[in-house]
Amino acid sequence: MMPLSMGEVVVAGSGVGGLAAALAVARQRHWVTVLKERDPFVPPDAGVHLTPTALRALDQLGIGLDAHRRAVTVHEVHLVNGVTGRPISTVPTDSRHGRPHAVVHGGDLYDLLLEACGNDPAIRIREDTAVVHYEQTDQRLTVFLGTGERLRVDALIGADGVCSPVRRQLTGQAGRVSPYATFHTAVPRERVPARLQPQLSARTAVTLWEGPSWQLAHYPSGDRRVGITATCAHDAPALVRGTPATAAQVLDRMPRLAEAARELVGLGTEWRMWVPCDGDRDPPWCDRRVVLTGAAVRPAFQHSLPTAFQAVDDAVRLGNMMDCDPADFPQAFRSYAGRRH
């Protein structure tokens, strides 16, 4: 059902969740302006887990097939005791619903979403600007930008992170620095010694090493590389965005790591570190014409292998709710928030 009139919608944030939301809303024949921040909190070469549900959601946005073509299919996940190195279990991931699990570069997924938005005439992308705050009534919403501009629109979708001004104003809560850091590198397969090949499992498997307050993951990163990502406790005083790090720094945060895993970590010569923003895991999702989705609801990185499922699925479900007249956006957002909560 087409809306009675086209609404003007602003999406704050141009990460995976923000771009997916823009595509989903534009499918309902509304105009969308995406505010693209200068430095999105994304490690472009890190692996992103695509569940069958995420792939189906990407299908609805028109890029599921392209995402699958760029991804590596994953048939099983190996869970390993990170201290002893002993296998715990192997979980097959083959889907009964016709879609597999897969791992795709975060940058590849981002590029597909950005290209799709650029090709949609209902979507406008603005560079290097962000929302400062907003004011609203039951009938209308004014969004104030860092450029000094004021945009009078029908809705604001906050997808710009846990520390964003949109989430802070809606929830009344300030974000905080996460107690966990994420480290990432990629290693050419030919550099991996023969004795470590069993630890890499098959080229279609993900391995998770679980330890006290840390997790290590390695996974296929294309045909010729192995992605290695670690999430561990950290005491950084501020956010960190892709700062160069060393294997020694990673190992220092992962005490008692099994010897084989330590060797794998040591192979990384181009480690980078991210410390994201953190916040309440169950914030309010909406306030009249303002709604949160994606990274504005959940921290960007909570696990060693981030998943696109929640951000993309949230975006598609939000877009489906916005198949209505702009006057009904507040009710649509309440329904969306109730279901996602």
- Tens of each residue's pLDDT in the chain, 341 residues: 454 578 999 999 988 899 999 999 999 999 999 998 755 555 666 778 888 888 889 999 999 989 988 888 888 888 999 999 999 998 887 665 567 788 888 888 989 999 999 999 999 999 878 999 999 987 889 999 999 999 999 999 999 888 889 999 999 887 788 888 889 998 888 888 877 766 665 577 888 999 998 999 988 887 788 889 999 888 888 888 889 999 999 999 998 999 999 999 999 989 999 888 887 767 788 999 999 998 788 765 555 566 666 889 899 999 999 999 999 999 999 999 988 76
Q: Mapped to the 3 state alphabet, what secondary structure does 120-179 carry?
A: CCCEEEEECCCEEEEEECCCCEEEEECCCCEEEECEEEECCCCCCHHHHHHHCCCCEECC
Instruction: Supply the Cα-derived Rg of the chain in whole angstroms.
Output: 21
User: Token pair 């590029």 is at which residue?
Assistant: 111
Q: Where is 109: in which H helix or E strand? A: helix 106-118
In this prediction, residue 3 carries a pLDDT of 47
Interaxial angle between packed helices 52-60 and 309-321, expressed in degrees from 0 to 180 and rounded to the nearest 10:
40
In this prediction, residue 54 carries a pLDDT of 86
C-alpha distance across the termini of the chain, in Å? 26
pTM of this prediction exceeds 0.95 = no
For residues 195 and 271, give the distance between their C-alpha atoms in angstroms, rounded to a whole number: 22
Chain centroid to Cα 88, Å, comes to: 28
Chain centroid to Cα 150, Å, comes to: 29
